[in-house]
Structure 1
Amino acid sequence: MAAEHAGLYGGIEAGGTKFVCCLGTGPDDLRAEVRFPTTTPEETLGRAVAFFRAAGAAGPASIGVACFGPVDLDPASATYGHITTTPKPGWAGTDVVGFLRSALDVPVGFDTDVNGAALGEARWGAGRGLDPFVYLTVGTGIGGGAIVNGAPLHGLVHPEMGHVRVRHDRGLDPFPGGCPFHGDCLEGLASGPAMAQRWGAPAQTLPAGHPAWELEASYLAELLAGLVCTLSPRRIVLGGGVMAGPGLFGMIRRRTRELLAGYVSSPAVTDRIDDYIVPPGLGGRSGRLGALALAQAAVTSAG
């Protein structure tokens, strides 16, 4: 199949809540797309396989998967392509890559959901021509992907930017945090579920001027200031449902600059921070388009 259909790729944005599968070559050429809820591994991955098989002779040369995790990205590992310690019931230990390779007999590119979104933004969106570049998502969880030297950053495992520790003033914010592993890490304090637990209402229902938004901005700015000082990205993109909060971008930009306290003298931060901390250029399509980019890379490495 890979040799016969070398110009067409399949992408899977594999989320803990829903899967989005697409067929195409890029943002201007998406020929088919389907979405469905994430249920059991067998049912959900089976529906993805059925989508690509339905394309028949126009099927993809390769598949890219931008997957919720944590996942094993080490090609030398016996569990490469598996989901590991996820709290998603029934999914820990799932061999995503093996299932798709066996069913479709094509190369499979595999990375985290946020690394996939970062790759999509770097290829076609707000990160084009910028390296290093960071994409963060703030929603049901908090995660981050970094593009360094043109590729997603991997290491001992993959970056877990949502689980870094941030300053937590319990006098100001007595909420203990909602992360089942770390309590008051960033995700435990600032994800959508953490906001709902703290304030007793979903984040999207909290109005402008609610104290939730300044607190949220302060926590997220802690991470952004740390990333500026460590990875020194040329731009940071913030996506995810929580980022639709009223005035949140402006508050985060202001607080990030305050935390840096003039130490980082780049005009990108001191003068043009509105163009430095930005929403996704691809809107809600970053993940699935990043999955297409992973599919393209899989063909290259297989060849």
Structure 2
Amino acid sequence: MHRLAGIELGGTKTVVVLGQAGRIDERVEFATRDPETTLEEALEVLSGWQGTRALDALGIASFGPIRLEPRATDFGCMLATPKPGWSGAEVRAPFAKELGCPVGLDTDVNGAALGEYRHGAGKGCSSLVYVTIGTGIGGGVLVEGHPVHGSLHPELGHLRLRRARGDGFAGACRFHGDCVEGLLSGPALAARLGCHPGEVPAHDPRWEVIAQDLAELLVHLLLTLAPQRIIVGGGVTHRQRHLLARAIDHVPHLLGGYLEDATPAVLAQRIVLPTLGDDAGPTGALEIAARALAQRPGHAV
């Protein structure tokens, strides 16, 4: 069996795992700090594992925006990001240089999407969207099982939404104010609720406007990408599990009868929480590693 490693490089936490496709054998977690410290710590973990037995491939699932085009001169480098000190950081190169094995790279949300597609809530689907609602908001898109890349990668968190009537919250995104991230991310919710969103009880009426905002995003995704499944993960929906159900209840009204089969019962099967939980990203990183190995001539996974 191939010995695979994965890194889920998040804005807050980094997870390094060892295992095989669909199976995590070892895991190390630590806070994401500055690029040099964080990447060196990850490399130290990987080098320790490689000292026992060579790694066949590494998959990196990173926060972004990050350059994914292999032909680009800045391939594997972080682009302009609000994360202090990370703009321009070389994420892939240090591992490719030191480990001497194939190194695959994708976004953290595409990684989570791959994990759920192969081993979780997306099994049996050919197309899906994974949305994470946490410190920021990201979206991973898979079509026929392959992550969508273009000039960059999908940035669903910066879509603009139709606002709920009477909602005067200005938004918290430093770029766009009231985009999806500016309305629904953890910091945005803390700003509009006046406290950590995990502390607000489910019966608080302020969740209703937030649910409408999330429903607007779901409608955008249903109409533009027509996914077979939308998986909504991240810390916000994990702590406030009622929020997704409330949002789904708003979707048929927002669609206005356009999608006749979009009943609450159907949508509840099509728009779901992740089944892998915190393992979605690390499992996806191992999938990225497996795909990088499979692309190497003479190898198969």
Give the alignment's TM-score, normalised by structure 1: 0.94
Following superposition, the deviation at residue 174 of structure 1 comes to 1.6
Partner amino acid, structure 2, of 1:157: L
Following superposition, the deviation at residue 265 of structure 1 comes to 2.4
| 3-state SS of 1:120 partner | helix
* 2:42 alignment counterpart: 48
Following superposition, the deviation at residue 211 of structure 1 comes to 2.6
Separation in structure 2 between the aligned mates of residue 199 and residue 230 of structure 1, nearest angstrom: 30
Separation in structure 1 between the aligned mates of residue 85 and residue 148 of structure 2, nearest angstrom: 28
Deviation track 1:85-107 (CA, whole Å, cap 9, x = no partner) reads 11111111011111111121111
Unaligned runs of at least 5 residues, structure 1:
1-5
Matches within 5 A, 1:197-276: 197-243=191-237, 244-266=239-261, 269=263, 271-276=265-270
Following superposition, the deviation at residue 264 of structure 1 comes to 1.1
* 1:175 alignment counterpart: 169
Separation in structure 2 between the aligned mates of residue 263 and residue 132 of structure 1, nearest angstrom: 21
Following superposition, the deviation at residue 223 of structure 1 comes to 1.1
Q: Is the 8 A contact 1:23 1:60 kept in 2?
A: no
Deviation track 1:2-26 (CA, whole Å, cap 9, x = no partner) reads xxxx601101010011100000013
Question: Once superposed, what is the RMSD of the aligned Cα atoms?
Answer: 1.4
Following superposition, the deviation at residue 270 of structure 1 comes to 5.5
2:100 corresponds to 1:105: yes
* 1:121 alignment counterpart: 116
| 3-state SS of 2:92 partner | helix
Deviation track 1:217-268 (CA, whole Å, cap 9, x = no partner) reads 111111111111111011111000110315212201101122112211236x
Change (3 A) 1:246 1:236: closer
Partner amino acid, structure 2, of 1:54: G
Give the alignment's TM-score, normalised by structure 2: 0.94
Separation in structure 1 between the aligned mates of residue 250 and residue 126 of structure 2, nearest angstrom: 24
Separation in structure 2 between the aligned mates of residue 30 and residue 191 of structure 1, nearest angstrom: 29
Following superposition, the deviation at residue 208 of structure 1 comes to 1.6
- Count of aligned residue pairs for this structure pair: 295
Separation in structure 1 between the aligned mates of residue 189 and residue 62 of structure 2, nearest angstrom: 24
Q: Is the 8 A contact 1:53 1:59 kept in 2?
A: no
Matches within 5 A, 1:153-192: 153-169=148-164, 172-192=166-186
Separation in structure 2 between the aligned mates of residue 210 and residue 59 of structure 1, nearest angstrom: 53
Q: Is the 8 A contact 2:248 2:264 kept in 1?
A: no
Q: Is the 8 A contact 1:262 1:270 kept in 2?
A: no
Change (3 A) 1:302 1:160: same
Q: Is the 8 A contact 2:109 2:138 kept in 1?
A: yes
Unaligned runs of at least 5 residues, structure 2:
none
Residue 52 (structure 2) aligned to one of 51, 57, 60: 57
Matches within 5 A, 1:20-31: 20-27=15-22, 29-31=23-25
Q: Is the 8 A contact 2:24 2:283 kept in 1?
A: no
Deviation track 1:95-146 (CA, whole Å, cap 9, x = no partner) reads 1111111121111111111111001111111111202111100111111111
Separation in structure 1 between the aligned mates of residue 11 and residue 98 of structure 2, nearest angstrom: 22
Same amino acid, percent of matched pairs = 45
| 3-state SS of 1:302 partner | coil
